[in-house]
A and B are shown apart, each in its own frame.
Chain A
Amino acid sequence: MTVLVESSELHKSFGPIKAVDGISLSVRKGEVLGFLGPNGAGKSTTMKMITGFLEPDHGSSRICGLDVQDQPRLAKSKLGYLPEGAPLYAEMTPRTFLDFIAAVRGIDGKLRAARVGAAIEQTRLQSVLDQRIETLSKGFKRRVGLAQAVLHDPPVLIMDEPTDGLDPNQKHHVRNLIREMAEQKAIIVSTHILEEVEAVCTRAVIINKGRIVADGTAEDLMRRVPYHGAVAIRVSEKHEKAAIKMLSEQAFVDRVETLEKANRHVALRAIPRNGREIVTDIAALLRAKEVPVDDLFVERGKLDDVFRQITTTEGATDA
C-alpha cells in the first residue's frame, strides 16, 4: 500500500507554548486514521501543518510525495480538507459555493457539473441547494463543508471533527460516507468521540500535549485497559464458592474478583494471565463441571478508559 500522507517531526510553538512537539505520522491508501486527543492537545495545529496551511517551526509534511511547503499548489490539489468548525462563505448558497470551489480547483465544463452533482448527492444537499448558507442548520453547514472537501475526489482527505454538531442519523451517514471512500483514499479524521474511532477508523493515534502517546488499532488500544479480555460471569449464590475456587485454580486465570451481589446472584470477573484469550476455556470448564451460569461475557474495555488513562497518567509524567 502506498503512503499518501507523511509528516515527520512536526514542531510548532506559539510564543512560549509548545503546541506541537515532534509529531510524525504516515497514512497509507486505504487507511482511516483517527486522530484523538483532549482539547488543546495540538490536534488542529497538527492538521493545519499537514495541510500546509501553517508552516511548522521544524519538520516537514508530504502529501502524495509532494512537500506542502515547497510545492504547495500541487500538494494542495491532491488534498481535500474540512477545517475545524467547517468555515464557509455565509452569503453564498451551497450551489454557488461548490461551483466556486470547483472553479478554483480548475474543474471545468461537464466535469464540473458531474463532480458538483456527485458531491451534492454524497452529502445529501439536494434540498437546500439554493438557500443561503448562513440560514442552514449546523448539520447542513457541516455537510456543505464535507461536500467541498470531497468535490475533486482527492486521494487524501483530512477532516477536523467532521461529525461535530451532527445528530445521530447524520453522524451515521457521515461515517458511512467515510467508510465508502476509505478504500481509495488516505483519510485523517480528528475527533474526540471515541465510538467514532471504533466505527470508522482502521488506526488511532492519541496525542497529548503535542506528542503522540499511543498509536495502533482500536483493538490495540483497548488491550491497554486492565480488564481487557476479562470474562464476567453471573452465578447463583450457592455456586459462588465453587466457581471462584474452580476459576482460581486455572493456570490461565490471573485472579478472580467478586463484583456485586444482587438477587441471590453473584457477578464474578476472571482476569486473564498475560492477556491471553480465556473465554472458550472458561465456557468449556463451566460446562464440564456443570456449573449453571446466568450470564457470561467478555469485557472488552472501553476506549474512554484507555483515553483517560493515557492522557492523564502519561501526560503527568511528561510534565
Chain B
Amino acid sequence: MPEKLRATAIIAKREFAAYFASPLAAVFLTIFVALTGAFAFYVGNFFERGQADLAAFFAFHPWLYLLLVPAVAMRLWAEERKTGTVELLMTLPISPWEAVLGKFLAAWAFVGLALLLTFPMWITVNILGDPDNGVIVASYLGSFLMAGAFLAIGSFVSALTKNQVIAFILAATICFLFVMSGVDLVQNGVRAWAPGFVASAISSMSFLTHFQEISRGVVEVPTLVLFASLIVFALFANVIAIDQKKAS
C-alpha cells in the first residue's frame, strides 16, 4: 500500500512541522526534559540510590505523560474542527484512516523527539557507573510505546470536541484511569458492581503495573499487545468519531 503511506506521510510531515510553527514545541520540549530530570533527581533520589540505572528516571514517566501527552494530542482534531480546516482536509482525495494515522504519527514522533532529548540522563549514568544499557533501551522503547497509547487516546478524544481544553481534561482523565486501573482507588469502584473477572481484566490493563515491568527492563508480550492494541483501538474509534462528528 505505498499509495496510502504516501498521503499519510505527507499529512504527518505537515502536522509535525505545525508543532514547530508555534512556541509549543520549544515550551513542551524544554519542560519535558526539565521535568523528567527534576523528578529523577529530586523525587526519585537518582544519586542517593547509588545504582547505575535509570529506574528513578523512568518511574515518573506515566505521571508526566498524564500531564504532557494530552497537551500534545488535544489540538490534533479539536483545532481542525474549530477552524473548519477539517472540511478542507476531508474533501481532499484521502481516506479518514490516512488522516488519522498521519496526525497520530506526527504527534508520536514529536513525543519521541522529546524522549530522545533526555539522552544526557543516559550519558550521565554511563559516566557515573556501568549500567545495563539493554535495560535502558528496552525502557525507552516501552516508554515510547506507552506514550503512543496515551496519544492515541488523546487523539480520539480530540476528535469528539471543538474545545481543546475539554479535549485535554477528558484525555487526561481517561489516561489517569488507565494508569491507576490496578490501584485500589479504581479497583474499589469497579469491584462494587462488576464481577471479579472484569475487575481483574481492568486491573491487568494498568499502565502502572506494566510500566514498572518495563522500567526494570522486562518487556513482555502482554505489555506490547496491550499498548499496541490500545493504539489500534483508539485510532479506530478516532476514525469513527471523525466520520460522525466532522460536520457538527
Chain A contact residues, CB within 8 Å of chain B: 14, 48, 51-54, 72-74, 76-77, 79, 81, 83-85, 87-92, 96, 100-101, 103-106, 132, 148
Complex Cα distance, B91 from A51, in Å, reads 7
Residues 4 to 23 of chain B near chain A (Cβ within 8 Å)? 6-7, 10-11, 14, 17-18, 21-22
Asked if B21 and A87 make an inter-chain contact with CB atoms under 8 angstroms apart, the answer reads no
Asked if A148 and B10 make an inter-chain contact with CB atoms under 8 angstroms apart, the answer reads no
B74 to A: closest C-beta gap in Å: 16
Chain B contact residues, CB within 8 Å of chain A: 6-7, 10-11, 14, 17-18, 21-22, 83-85, 87-88, 90-95, 246-248
A82 to B: closest C-beta gap in Å: 9
| CB nearest neighbor in B for A158 | B91
Asked if A104 and B21 make an inter-chain contact with CB atoms under 8 angstroms apart, the answer reads no
In the complex, besides A53-B90, A76-B92, A88-B85, 19 extra interface pairs with C-beta distance below 8 angstroms are A48-B247, A53-B246, A54-B246, A54-B247, A73-B93, A74-B93, A76-B93, A79-B91, A84-B87, A85-B84, A87-B83, A87-B84, A87-B87, A89-B14, A91-B18, A91-B21, A104-B11, A106-B6, A106-B93
Residues in A whose Cβ lies below 8 Å from that of B84: 83-85, 87
Complex Cα distance, B94 from A103, in Å, reads 12
Asked if A87 and B85 make an inter-chain contact with CB atoms under 8 angstroms apart, the answer reads yes
A88 to B: closest C-beta gap in Å: 7
B105 to A: closest C-beta gap in Å: 15
Please pick, from B17, B83, B94, B247, the residue contacting A73 in the complex, using a CB distance under 8 A: B94
Asked if B14 and A53 make an inter-chain contact with CB atoms under 8 angstroms apart, the answer reads no
| CB nearest neighbor in B for A51 | B91
Interface centre among B6, B7, B14, B17 (most CB of A within 10 A): B14
Complex Cα distance, B18 from A76, in Å, reads 25
Known: A53-B246, A103-B10. A83 touches B87 (CB 8 A): yes
Complex Cα distance, B80 from A88, in Å, reads 9
Known: A73-B94, A76-B93, A105-B93. A100 touches B14 (CB 8 A): yes
Residues in B whose Cβ lies below 8 Å from that of A85: 84
Interface centre among A54, A89, A106 (most CB of B within 10 A): A89
Residues in A whose Cβ lies below 8 Å from that of B7: 104
Asked if A83 and B91 make an inter-chain contact with CB atoms under 8 angstroms apart, the answer reads yes
B11 to A: closest C-beta gap in Å: 7
B52 to A: closest C-beta gap in Å: 43
Complex Cα distance, B86 from A317, in Å, reads 37
Complex Cα distance, B246 from A51, in Å, reads 14
Complex Cα distance, B92 from A52, in Å, reads 10
Residues in A whose Cβ lies below 8 Å from that of B93: 72-74, 76-77, 104-106
Residues in B whose Cβ lies below 8 Å from that of A14: 248
B78 to A: closest C-beta gap in Å: 14
B44 to A: closest C-beta gap in Å: 37
A127 to B: closest C-beta gap in Å: 21
Complex Cα distance, B93 from A79, in Å, reads 9
Complex Cα distance, B93 from A52, in Å, reads 11
Asked if B92 and A104 make an inter-chain contact with CB atoms under 8 angstroms apart, the answer reads yes
| CB nearest neighbor in A for B10 | A103
B26 to A: closest C-beta gap in Å: 14
Complex Cα distance, B88 from A305, in Å, reads 35
Residues in B whose Cβ lies below 8 Å from that of A74: 93
Complex Cα distance, B7 from A91, in Å, reads 20
Interface centre among B83, B91, B93 (most CB of A within 10 A): B91
Please pick, from A52, A91, A100, the residue contacting B91 in the complex, using a CB distance under 8 A: A52
Asked if A53 and B91 make an inter-chain contact with CB atoms under 8 angstroms apart, the answer reads yes
Please pick, from B18, B85, B94, B246, the residue contacting A104 in the complex, using a CB distance under 8 A: B94
Asked if B18 and A89 make an inter-chain contact with CB atoms under 8 angstroms apart, the answer reads yes
Residues in B whose Cβ lies below 8 Å from that of A103: 10
| CB nearest neighbor in B for A48 | B247
Complex Cα distance, B247 from A74, in Å, reads 21
A-B contact pairs, 15 of them (CB 8 A): A53-B91, A53-B246, A53-B247, A77-B93, A79-B91, A81-B88, A81-B91, A83-B87, A83-B88, A84-B84, A84-B87, A87-B87, A89-B14, A89-B85, A92-B21
Residues in B whose Cβ lies below 8 Å from that of A104: 7, 10-11, 92-94
Residues in B whose Cβ lies below 8 Å from that of A54: 246-247
Residues in B whose Cβ lies below 8 Å from that of A100: 10, 14
B15 to A: closest C-beta gap in Å: 10
Complex Cα distance, B95 from A84, in Å, reads 22
Residues in A whose Cβ lies below 8 Å from that of B87: 48, 53, 83-84, 87
Residues in B whose Cβ lies below 8 Å from that of A101: 92
A146 to B: closest C-beta gap in Å: 12
A20 to B: closest C-beta gap in Å: 12
